[in-house]
């Protein structure tokens, strides 16, 4: 029974891994191919089926004047916008979530749960509904085609995620811990920063991860709200496409854009498996 179950488990995991890894391997090998190796039938093994070339990668670093497409700047733009928007979202989202979890708000029939739902409802709305209002608002503020404008829009998009995750997190933190801090001599602000916040880091890490994923992969708003001055990575990758699809540089760019998320996922996975996320208080 034991070995059979183990075998079954490993087989399932192996098959699943192949499904996950295959596209990455395919993109990786494609990024080293030239025009002929891609267009004249499938080729698999480097140096046997095709002669590897670095051309696909070089294009990404070459300036447009030299016939390349520069993705370094969009890459840095994306990092800047994603990180700053995520940071602001977590900061504001955590404070909002703490208030929603610990204090009772009431305005007519609107109560805490309704306010929380109002935040989440921003994500339920189809993004296209927001496109025109955002465009007009940023236009009036003179922030179209700027990084600051994008950061503002992304905070609007990411903060609901942070609020949602953190409200849930704080609701699971017993209120006695706040009360104990007050009894031990903290005022409410100290209680939050000295006791509640250090215990909330795991929740903030998870919320931060989600914010970064959603921010990093957004194409829609990055495409609509920028033109020539600033460009974010997803838009830059799509604009690599031309009359002859450059599969090799597209593959290279795709791999480069996924890399940071993989790194983040690995770090957080370590954090998760150390048991730091669950049982922080119990």
What are the Cα distances from residue 234, in Å, to 22, 207, 216, 238?
22, 22, 8, 6
Establish if 184 lies at the interface with other proteins (CB under 8 A).
yes
Per rule CB under 8 A, is residue 240 in the interface with other proteins? Answer: no
Residue pair 93/166 in contact (Cβ under 8 Å)? The answer is yes
In the complex with other proteins, the residue whose CB is nearer, 7 or 180, is: 180
Q: Which of 3, 40, 187, 242 binds other proteins (CB under 8 A)?
A: 187
Spatial distance between the Cα atoms of 82 and 214, rounded to a whole number of angstroms: 9
Least separation in angstroms between CB 188 and other proteins:
8
**In this complex, which beta carbon is closest to other proteins, that of residue 61 or of residue 182?**
182
278, with CB counted inside 10 A (0-12, 13-18, 19+), is: exposed
Q: Where are the beta strands (DSSP E) in 71-219?
A: 106-107, 110-111
Q: Is 241 in the site for other proteins (CB under 8 A)?
A: no
Identified binder of other proteins from the candidate list 162, 195, 204, 235, rule CB under 8 A:
195
Instruction: Name residues whose C-beta falls within 8 Å of residue 123's C-beta, 6 or more positions apart in sequence.
Output: 157, 160, 161, 164
Which pair of structure tokens corresponds to residue 17? Answer: 């891994």
Q: Which is nearer to other proteins, 19 or 109 (CB)?
A: 109
Contacting residue, 108, 126, 133, 198, with other proteins by CB under 8 A: 198
Contact pick of 51, 73, 176, 269 for other proteins (by CB under 8 A): 176
Contact flag: residue 190 with other proteins (CB under 8 A): yes
Which residue from 8, 18, 177, 263 is in contact with other proteins, where contact means CB under 8 A?
177
- 183 contributes a contact to other proteins by CB under 8 A: yes
Q: Smaller CB distance to other proteins: residue 177 or 265?
A: 177
Shortest distance in whole angstroms from residue 274 CB to other proteins = 11
For the segment 200-229, give every residue that binds other proteins (CB under 8 A): 201
Neighbours of 237 (CB within 10 A): 23
In terms of Cβ atoms closer than 10 Å to its own Cβ (0-12, 13-18, 19+), residue 122 is middle
* 223's tokens: 């495409």
Of 18 and 183, nearer to other proteins (C-beta) is 183
Give the H/E segment covering residue 163.
Answer: helix 147-172
Residue 113 lies near other proteins (rule: CB under 8 A): no
How many residues touch other proteins under the rule CB under 8 A: the total is: 20
Whether residue 231 contacts residue 72, with contact meaning beta carbons closer than 8 Å, is answered with no
Q: Which residue stretch of 41-49, 92-100, 198-206, 254-262 sits at the interface with other proteins (rule: CB under 8 A)?
A: 198-206
How many whole angstroms separate alpha carbon 208 and alpha carbon 165?
10
- Interface with other proteins, residue 185, by CB under 8 A: yes
Point out which residues bind other proteins (CB under 8 A). 174, 176-177, 179-180, 182-187, 190, 194-195, 198-199, 201, 279-281
């Amino acid at each position: 029974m034991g070995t059979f179950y183990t075998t079954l488990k490993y087989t399932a995991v192996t098959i699943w891994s192949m499904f996950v890894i295959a596209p990455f391997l395919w993109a990786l090998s494609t990024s080293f191919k030239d025009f002929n190796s891609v267009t004249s039938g499938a080729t698999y093994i480097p140096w046997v089926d095709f002669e590897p070339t670095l051309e696909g990668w070089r294009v990404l670093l070459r300036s447009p004047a030299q016939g390349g497409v520069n993705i370094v700047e969009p890459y840095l733009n994306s990092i800047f916008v994603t990180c700053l928007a995520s940071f602001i979202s977590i900061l504001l989202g955590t404070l909002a979530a703490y208030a929603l979890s610990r204090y009772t708000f009431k305005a007519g029939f609107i109560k805490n749960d309704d306010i929380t739902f109002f935040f989440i409802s921003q994500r339920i709305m189809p993004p296209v509904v927001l496109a025109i209002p955002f465009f007009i608002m940023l236009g009036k503020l003179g922030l179209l085609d700027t990084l600051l404008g994008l950061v503002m829009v992304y905070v609007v998009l990411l903060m609901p995620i942070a609020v949602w995750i953190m409200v849930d997190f704080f609701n699971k933190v017993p209120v006695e811990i706040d009360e104990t801090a007050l009894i031990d001599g903290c005022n409410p602000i100290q209680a939050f920063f000295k006791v509640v916040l250090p215990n909330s880091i795991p929740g903030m890490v998870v919320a931060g991860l989600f914010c970064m994923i959603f921010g990093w992969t957004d194409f829609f708003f990055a495409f609509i709200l920028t033109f020539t001055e600033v460009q974010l990575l997803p838009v830059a990758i799509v604009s690599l496409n031309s009359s002859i699809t450059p599969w090799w540089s597209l593959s290279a760019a795709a791999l480069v854009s996924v890399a940071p998320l993989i790194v983040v996922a690995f770090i957080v996975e370590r954090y998760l498996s150390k048991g730091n996320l669950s049982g922080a208080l119990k």
